[in-house]
Amino acid sequence: MRALGIETSCDETAVAVVEADAAGLRLIRQRLATRPEESTALGGIVPELTVRQHLELLPKLTRETLEAGGNLNAVGATAGPGLAPALLVGLAFGKSLAWARQSSFHAINHLEGHIFSPFVSRGKWPEYPHLALIASGGHTLLVDAPDSSRRKVVGSTRDDAAGEAFDKLARMVGLGYPGGPEIEREAAQGEVGKIHLPRPMKGSEEGDFSFSGLKNAARLLLEKQPEMARPGALRSYFCAEAQAAIAECLADRCRLALKRTQRKVLTVSGGVSGNRVVARALEEAARSEGATLLSPASGWNTDNAGMIAAVTARRHLDGADSDWGTDADPRWSVASDQNGA
């Protein structure tokens, strides 16, 4: 069967088609567009401009994706979590396309797509049980997945997401958007330990993340030493320390969750998973608890439509009913119930 996925939860406009059966799947074609230079100039994402981008590009990208040919058995679109106006564009477009193509329609949780991505990016369906870390600009959480029908959030951020922390720290020292890659490039010239930034929640018996204390400490440090915000060694030291702080916090929380759940597979997805320092810290955390780390293949760690198409295909193969009446839900939980259990 073939499934088409639409992703418009934030600033990426993406459409993909996958071919799937009970044994696995493969990506047939994907089209993605974003305008990072616009977000950089404006200091972040502007919802009104993002919606305009989706309205402008979604029909074009869909036509290009469907040039691969073949019938569509199912269409899926991200229904949440995300920016409400952006979600509504993709959801309405997906329902219209499914109706026109006489396909089933499925409303997909964006975070479930991320949980699928380390597996489906390699052509296979998710394996259970596993512990999943999602770390992106909008989300940082740990999800325990004992089987295909149950998911429990065992840790989440109390304030900023890890990717958002990267963005804000980068902006403080005059770097561009998105901040993660900018900080990683600058940090390569620096050295950890030349300055000190805190590691919030590290060592705590509570399972959550927090990055606001790191951000506040960085702001106070820059007020005392404003030269850190200018090109040079001090800025590189700042970026190296900030990156290490985020990586250590993520790894520490994963180590605690692995210890408590006794899972032997840790997956990571979301844009932050592409950071090499973060990846090394997570590998070490998994190894220390006798677990292995599974990351998405190249191109699947950030928001993409391939993961949405994959979840759509799985729904269709499982005989799940179409979700024609589903509305956008900007706060849609990935837990198997809405109370985190």
162, 289: one domain: yes
Number of folded domains in the chain? 2
> Is 275 inside any structural domain?
yes
232, 109: one domain: no
CA angle 14, 17, 18 (to 5 degrees): 130
The predicted pLDDT at position 312 comes to: 98
59, 146: one domain: no
The predicted pLDDT at position 45 comes to: 65
> Is 87 inside any structural domain?
yes
100, 230: one domain: no
> Is 191 inside any structural domain?
yes
Residue 5, classed as helix, strand or coil, is strand
73, 16: one domain: yes
Query: Residue 22's domain is classified under what CATH number?
Result: 3.30.420.40
145, 252: one domain: yes
Contact criterion met (CB below 8 Å) for 116 and 310: yes
The predicted pLDDT at position 35 comes to: 63
Integer Cα distance of 170 and 37 in angstroms = 15
236, 308: one domain: no
> Is 110 inside any structural domain?
yes
Tokens linked to 182? 């900018």
88, 216: one domain: no
Residues ≥6 apart with Cβ < 8 Å to 189: 233, 236
pLDDT by residue for the chain (341 residues), tens digit each?
A: 999 999 999 889 999 999 999 999 999 999 998 765 554 555 556 778 888 999 999 999 999 999 877 889 999 999 999 999 999 999 999 999 999 999 999 999 999 999 999 999 999 999 999 999 999 999 999 999 999 999 999 999 999 999 999 999 999 999 988 899 999 999 999 999 999 999 999 999 999 999 999 999 999 999 999 999 999 999 999 999 999 999 999 999 999 999 999 999 999 999 999 999 999 999 999 999 999 999 999 889 999 999 999 999 999 999 999 999 999 999 999 998 544 44
145, 287: one domain: yes
105, 190: one domain: no
> Is 38 inside any structural domain?
yes
DSSP string, 208-276: -B--HHHHHHHHHHHHH-GGGGSSSHHHHHHHHHHHHHHHHHHHHHHHHHHHHH--SEEEEESGGGG-H
Residue 302, classed as helix, strand or coil, is coil
Question: In terms of C-beta density within 10 A (0-12 exposed, 13-18 middle, 19 or more buried), how is residue 8 classed?
Answer: buried
> Is 339 inside any structural domain?
no
> Is 82 inside any structural domain?
yes
> Is 324 inside any structural domain?
no
Q: How far is CA 205 from CA 20, 155, 159, 202, in A?
A: 42, 11, 18, 9
Segments forming the whole domain that contains residue 277: 130-294
86, 143: one domain: no
The predicted pLDDT at position 340 comes to: 42
249, 183: one domain: yes
The predicted pLDDT at position 339 comes to: 40
The predicted pLDDT at position 305 comes to: 97
The predicted pLDDT at position 124 comes to: 98
The predicted pLDDT at position 341 comes to: 41
